[in-house]
A and B are shown apart, each in its own frame.
Chain A
Amino acid sequence: MTSPGREDRPRCFQDVILRLQAHWAASGCAILQPYDMEVGAGTFHPATTLRSLGPRHWAAAYVQPSRRPTDGRYGENPNRLQHYYQYQVIIKPSPPDLQELYLDSLRAIGLDPLRHDIRFVEDDWESPTLGAWGLGWEVWCDGMEVSQFTYFQQVGGHDCHPVSGELTYGLERLAMYVLGVEHVMDMPFNDPDAPIPLTYGDVFRDAERQYSRWNFEVADTDMLLQHFRDAEAECARILAAPLEDAAGRAIPMPLPAYDQAIKASHLFNLLDARGVISVTERQAYIGRVRALTKACADAWVAAEGAAA
């Protein structure tokens, strides 16, 4: 692939996203849409967590809106948001040229590795709530982390076989760098020459302010705790249901159960942002979420095994 010249740089946030979509579509990935639930990171999307388990091959890419309530700064911090976008690529088995495919994606958004200093710096990835770990790198561009690059080794306590390669781009940070913007709210969202040019702030400033206040001050913690317990119970109930439905068809339900695990995880993040979870309790909550994802992964693996 030829490197685009300077003039070929993206001009706005959505252009970065569209180029990544085009690149990964051309590389053979199914371009999925975001999962319709609140998650802390693109990894939580069942297209990554559950699909990385079992023998079936898989290749997908998608944008995932991600929520980290504790990172809210009322829209004032130039780099921190409680709601942001991740771009996620997952390919199983990891192809031998995954690094090259990834570097081509950087070229596609105007980062030429002969002009910018791209580095693969050791970073072992681990998600305590997903019971998952892998080895890989954080990818640096001119000293800034622009992506996580991971070869999944275990998810939900299960060995990954074959191994998935996972890429996660922090879209705002990456785009701000490519576009040369200092404050996220100043970043052009659509074409700056469009009849109605919009910045990231035009789209999200109000949301950041409002959610920051709700996350930190208003959210009803008793209700959130109750929701957490409800999600936990429903997850267990779904998984405990008999394998066969009323008509006698074998239909295991790891996907609906996993939705409840995602819910519990996000509720935990909200409770954390409200500051009602002590250091000791924290570990216990993480353990409870992990137990849920593990149970869902078990059910998924069992279903995959039965289907294979």
Chain B
Amino acid sequence: MPDLLIELFSEEIPARMQARAAADLKRLVTDGLVEAGLTYASAGAFATPRRLALAVEGLSAASKAQREERKGPRTDAPAQAIEGFLRSTGLTLEQLERRAEKKGEAFFAVIERPGRPAAEIVAEVLDEVIRDFPWPKSMRWGGGSLRWVRPLHSILCILTDEAGAEVVPLTVEHLVAGDTTRGHRFMAPDALRVTSFDDYAAKLRAAKVMLDAAERAEAIRNEAAQMAFARGWEIVADDGLLAEVAGLLEWPVPLMGAIEARFLDLPPEVLRTSMKEHQKFFSARNPKTGRIEGFVTVANIEAADGGEAILAGNRRVLAARLSDAAFFWENDLREAKAGMGAWAEAQKHVTFHAKLGSEADRIERIATLARELAPAVGADPDEAGQAARVAKLDLRSGMVGEFPELQGVMGRYYAQAAGLPEAVADAARDHYAPRGPEEPVPTAPVSVAVALADKLDTLTGFWWFDEKPTGSKDPFALRRAALGVIRLVLSSGSRLPLKRVIVSQLGSVFGQAQMRGFDAQLSQLDPLPEDLAEEARLRIEGRMVPVDPDSGIQGLGREEMRGEAVANDLLAFLHDRLKVHLREQGIRHDVIDAVLALPGNDDLVAVVARATALSDMLKTPDGENLVQGLRRAENILVQAEEKDGVEYSFGPEPKLAQTDEERALFAALDAAEPAIARAIKAEDFPAAMSAIAALRAPIDAFFEAVQVNTDNQVVRRNRLNLLHRIRAAGQGIADFSRLEG
């Protein structure tokens, strides 16, 4: 059983592609080998910046011989059919066998495939894998036509057994497979001849190459932690950065330095981001001061001077970068203290979306909505409006221009510097949240108001212009915005009539777009002769009736109908997202449907409270049986109503009750109905559920003892009307007919 070793040696592979490439190499090669009839015991793949390697152990030395029999056409079939069979089998007429079959004589092809040596199969498979490798981006180089992620320099491909190693004969374009590789680019650049995977890994290690990315990452993590510990610092964990850095070198040598004192007052987020993005440094925190005071850079060489020159160089570069950051910080602070007017002005000239106007237009809509939402989330409307107006100003600052990922974080600092209330500053930082399904949701009322307004404006805007997510395409992250709305509403317990909010915001979106349209038309009048331009101007201005935000949909005029439909569609989208959200919390979709069927379903807090209570009740034995009883009542009632063509909704008469069970049900309903009504009014849904669950026993007993459809029509009608009381009692709680099972 030979072992196979493959190495594809190239110029530097992007760090982000290495892990995936190693996995692809393993999958494609082993799949190819197995498909060609070989078996193997185990396989492992590795990547460094300059090589992809694959070790396959216990490969079969050859594929087994295969014999395949295929039945062809009858011997008296038309010539064309026989020719087709010859083509598909690759045999000649003489090579076919004739066998007697029940329906006459037929041709048979017996195809013998002799076993093939592993080397031949490996060469074939690897050739194809190299030519069709699934790099996210690949390139050509020199005069060749081969594609690889960067120029491919050599192919090592050997099979090793007890007798020794043998190079697999393979030539891909100008590259001839061999048994040599090279060590570290600078520390051990000479060629190495290898005979097996163990030999390869050992020789590479001696040549300053750590083959395994996980080992490189661990080495960096451990050494950095030790160096930090020695200074009383701790490394700020960053797994993404660690993986990236491990993909940028073959021999990690961490070096630690201190940040110059003049930069220590920069916000810690700025220090971390600048060091990470520009230089791929890890940040070291001093737990005593809570500040970022040091950095770890990871070199790829063991320099004779112990890394002194490297560290000095990195420190210089860092100082230049942080000087830039300090420059932005100081300039931005100056603008912030001056009230951020220049940034507000600049927003007018930044297009948010061709159909949705400028950033300033958008901020205007968000601010109006934030004010409107404020009372419902417990925020001061003036503060919410102010927060919405400043929340995105930092997008125009120098620092966020340089580091877009600091949006919000800087906004908070600048709002503080402008002397704005803490709640407003916090909203600048937190209004983007939640940024993902697992990310935290803000709780401060002003932040909640702005966060909600931001997301609802985005949703209504794109819904109005029919740019909804489809399938996997969601370029404006509208699903995330919808989930954000849901989580914000639920976690803050905000009682919002979402439908009305959406309709009103659609009014803002539409009204603004219309005004922009008029402005654009007016601006085109200039080249016209004066009298014509004047006439056109009057006509356009006559149509410029601003939308009254309070009257919302009425302002939409002939767009009114569409506005209503769009609002319903967006609400349905939110309901869908809510179902997904609740399902993850263990609430069945039919339970949510039963609740959503009731009026007032745009009050998500009430919907969830009801659905949770209903879901809990359904898990009790009473609940299960109650649903059966309600369904039975409903079925009997519907059948009777269909048959008789009337609705049985008159008050049943207790005096007409014939049995104890009927009387007991009357009594139970007399008790339950006001209890349910009280509980619903108080929004105490668990109490409403207990109240209706109390009907379970009397309903069961009733159906057990009483025949509803008796011959006595008076008694029958009375019983049907009694069933109606059951139905009515349930209707206040949920549409039980939507429950499954």
Contact = CB atoms under 8 A, between A and B. Distances in A.
A115 B300 CA distance: 11
Centre residue among A119, A142, A151, A280 by max chain B CB count within 10 A:
A142
Contact of A162 (B143, B309, B317): B143
Interface in A115-133: 115-122, 124
Interface stretch (B134-142, B362-370, B449-457, B468-476): B134-142
B49 A116 contact: no
Q: Range of interface residues on chain B?
A: 35 or more
Contact of B320 (A79, A124, A163): A79
B10 to A, nearest CB: 11
B515 interface: no
Contacts of B310: 115-117, 142
22 contacts: A78-B320, A94-B142, A114-B303, A115-B304, A115-B309, A116-B309, A117-B301, A117-B314, A119-B249, A121-B12, A121-B15, A124-B137, A135-B149, A142-B309, A143-B280, A143-B297, A143-B317, A144-B317, A151-B150, A153-B139, A161-B140, A279-B351
B300 to A, nearest CB: 6
Contacts of B12: 120-122, 137
Given A121-B248, A142-B317, A144-B313, A151 B141 contact: yes
Centre residue among A93, A143, A165 by max chain B CB count within 10 A:
A143
B15 A119 contact: no
A137 B151 CA distance: 12
Given A114-B301, A115-B309, 6 more contacts: A78-B320, A120-B49, A122-B12, A151-B141, A153-B139, A280-B351
Interface of A: 78-79, 93-96, 99, 113-122, 124, 134-137, 141-144, 151, 153, 161-163, 165, 177, 278-280
A151 B317 contact: no
Contacts of B314: 117, 142-143
B299 interface: yes
B323 to A, nearest CB: 7
A95 B153 CA distance: 12
Contacts of B149: 135
A160 to B, nearest CB: 8
B257 to A, nearest CB: 11
B437 interface: no
A99 B11 contact: yes
B187 A114 contact: yes
B16 interface: yes
B300 A119 contact: yes
Query: Which 6 A/B pairs are nearest by Cβ-Cβ distance?
Result: A142-B313, A122-B14, A120-B12, A162-B143, A143-B314, A117-B299
Contact of A153 (B140, B142, B320, B351): B140
Contacts of A135: 137, 139, 149-150
Interface in B36-70: 49
Contacts of A163: 139-143
B350 interface: yes
Contact of B305 (A78, A115, A119, A137): A115
Contacts of A134: 139
Contacts of A153: 139-140
Given A122-B14, A278-B349, A113 B142 contact: no
B229 interface: no
A278 B351 CA distance: 9
A99 B309 CA distance: 23
B186 A143 contact: no
Contacts of A78: 320, 323
A95 B141 CA distance: 9
A177 B139 contact: no
Contacts of A177: 313, 316
Given A143-B279, A143-B313, A117 B300 contact: yes
B153 A96 contact: yes
A88 B314 CA distance: 25
B318 interface: yes
B154 to A, nearest CB: 10
Nearest to A123: B14
Interface in B302-338: 303-305, 309-310, 312-314, 316-318, 320, 323
Interface string B401-415: 000000000000000
Contacts of A95: 142
Centre residue among B16, B139, B187, B305 by max chain A CB count within 10 A:
B139
B693 to A, nearest CB: 62
B142 A162 contact: yes
A147 B679 CA distance: 73
Nearest to B13: A122
Nearest to A80: B324
B151 to A, nearest CB: 7
B295 to A, nearest CB: 10
Interface string B141-164: 111000001110100000000000
Nearest to A134: B139
Contacts of B279: 143
A114 B305 CA distance: 10
A93 B299 contact: no
B304 A114 contact: yes
A79 to B, nearest CB: 6
Nearest to B302: A114
A162 B149 CA distance: 17
Contact of A279 (B16, B137, B313, B350): B350
A155 to B, nearest CB: 13
A151 B10 CA distance: 14
Contacts of B309: 115-116, 142
A186 to B, nearest CB: 14
Contacts of A119: 248-249, 300
Nearest to B307: A117
A78 B323 CA distance: 10
B351 A94 contact: no
A116 B305 CA distance: 10
A165 B11 CA distance: 13
Interface in B339-380: 349-351
B359 to A, nearest CB: 10
A114 B186 contact: yes
Nearest to B297: A143
A115 B303 contact: yes
Contacts of A141: 313
Centre residue among B187, B313, B350 by max chain A CB count within 10 A:
B313
Centre residue among B49, B142, B317, B351 by max chain A CB count within 10 A:
B142
Contacts of A151: 139-141, 150-151
B476 to A, nearest CB: 18
A44 B551 CA distance: 58
Contact of A120 (B11, B141, B303, B323): B11
Interface string B206-217: 000000000000
Contacts of B142: 93-96, 162-163
Contacts of A136: 150
Contacts of A117: 299-301, 303, 310, 313-314
A93 B146 CA distance: 14
A5 B304 CA distance: 13
A161 B317 CA distance: 38
A93 B313 CA distance: 34
A119 B299 CA distance: 9
A273 to B, nearest CB: 16
Contacts of B323: 78
Interface string B105-146: 000000000000000000000000000000001011111000
A121 B13 CA distance: 9
A165 to B, nearest CB: 8
